[in-house]
Structure 1
């Protein structure tokens, strides 16, 4: 089974986890954060290795990390703190089977040649477990710090995707793109399959036709089941119209899994509080409307992270593998 099928079989739902695996957005976690002297949104990553390996052992489908180059107090979110590709290299060495996804690399802030080389390196080191999610970037403060124009980022995004795909091909000279007069220049290493599955995060100021044509999956912000159905329907109609076959729809959910298995669902922004039986029912709803993969984010968790991962792994995950 290829890696896209591992997260995106038609009519099926798989589960992953979004890093950082911390509960710093819960009342207990926030109190600990203040005690530690960490700014809001800077998680405790002390146990990240332990939690990632538990997720791998329990056979979660994927771990997802984010690309947040600069901590901006106005956004209050440092994600997992580690630089994305450096961290992917580490994760590839301490895990065996779990897919490693980015949600997402801010492509307009990076040189596409280096992204192509970094991604190919991770793809080989992880033995084909990388899912390269790409995003446009929505933090205007970051762009001038890197010397880029915020307003033209959508064109930079498209150009970057084109360059990376070209660089991954065998015997693919970059001379034509960069108009060099030197002998043929290439990027190594090359992904064994000459491509890496690309996942679009959000719309990225691109048309749905462009996303469906150029990406292997679509990752969207958390929404209610009803709102999600509108997007999955739109996505599936477009891939069918273009005769591209099934392409997975991915989303996330900010979960506070409480100890009472029968606790009813109480919504909060991007997710909610619920017991495991209610979580199963909720996931069935997302599966019914066409979600193929759900990345669970646990920063609102009122319980210890390892305890929550173990409970999901024992009682919920077997239903979605």
Structure 2
């Protein structure tokens, strides 16, 4: 039966942890009352020189070997000098496919795929391909987009991105999980065709970023998890405000089942373990020693955060040195979950 999508419809789509019991990526990252650690890519800020990405793949393989829960890849199609940030530089989907071959356990997460810019057929095809190539390790953080320059370049109305996002989420879930879905809406008409492969374990987690221009009730009903900015991180007041936001979100979830929350911080980890938590760049970057970081992560866990993605691209110390310190002194306090092993296939 063909389904007409209407933006005003509230079609529950979010799933609790039980729906992902066999999903290796989800289970490695998320469990109630626990917090795991991931690393945001790129490991160094791109300033016009591709050389900063040299050997990053080797370090990602080391991140995997050391036992981190996830690596996160940003999705920034076009460089806007007004933002001054080129993001991941590489296309995240192509790069994830390559990283899947370099790693064995670490989850591969988008942070965040811009669902308003691309058609959900293309998104679903790329996602399920990576899902299979990685053995079920794909986690999709998704967003409606915040860089106005990108939308006219795609021929898309920037002000209409909320509607496109909601419809793309619905299409995506039908395409990756249902046989021969029939769909009709603003994004097109699908009738009499199907998309393969389907998700490796039946479903790909969709982690909503911020509001993605949707209502709180929509996020509560549709999100498999929620990714938000952390509030202030240089003292305990930010985690306390974050806890209030998480309590309000979880109270709206229709089945009250567990949905994970993620946050992130750009970190300048200094050698002095006792260096206090100090905000830089107007609070955009946190400079601290490892003791301050451990305190922050503990406060996040107490607030209800289940995964912390740390970006070190603005740090002064070498990336390998920071990763090693995190692995030796921080990761044991916030270990990744064992869960099911990634699916095996000799593609």
TM-score, length-normalised on structure 2?
0.83
Query: Which position in structure 2 is the counterpart of 1:55?
Result: 63
- Please provide the CA RMSD for this pair: 1.8
Shift of 1:231: 1.7
Query: Which position in structure 1 is the counterpart of 2:79?
Result: 71
Query: Which position in structure 2 is the counterpart of 1:248?
Result: 260
Q: Give, in whole Å, the separation in 2 of the partners of 1:5 and 1:220.
A: 20
Shift of 1:99: 0.2
Question: Residues 190-209 of structure 1: matches in 2 within 5 Å?
Answer: 190-209=198-217
Shift of 1:4: 2.6
- Is residue 108–residue 137 contact of structure 2 (8 Å, CA) maintained in 1? yes
Q: Which runs of 5+ in 1 are unaligned?
A: 25-32
Q: Give, in whole Å, the separation in 2 of the partners of 1:179 and 1:260.
A: 59
Bigger drift between 146-155 and 267-276 goes to: 267-276
- Is residue 23–residue 305 contact of structure 1 (8 Å, CA) maintained in 2? no
Aligned residue pairs total 303
Question: Residues 106-125 of structure 1: matches in 2 within 5 Å?
Answer: 106-125=114-133
Decide which of 16, 23, 34 is 2:38's aligned counterpart: 16
1:179/1:223 CA distance change after superposition, 3 Å: closer
1:275 corresponds to 2:289: yes
Q: Give, in whole Å, the separation in 2 of the partners of 1:194 and 1:119.
A: 12
Deviations 1:152-208 (A, max 9, x none): 11000111111111112342234666546x7x2001111133320101011011112
- Is residue 7–residue 248 contact of structure 1 (8 Å, CA) maintained in 2? no
- Is residue 171–residue 183 contact of structure 2 (8 Å, CA) maintained in 1? no
Bigger drift between 230-239 and 70-79 goes to: 230-239
1:80/1:175 CA distance change after superposition, 3 Å: closer
Deviations 1:255-278 (A, max 9, x none): 111101111111232341111122
- Is residue 62–residue 101 contact of structure 1 (8 Å, CA) maintained in 2? yes
1:142/1:176 CA distance change after superposition, 3 Å: closer
Q: Give, in whole Å, the separation in 1 of the partners of 2:215 and 2:26.
A: 22
Runs of 4+ more than 6 Å apart:
none
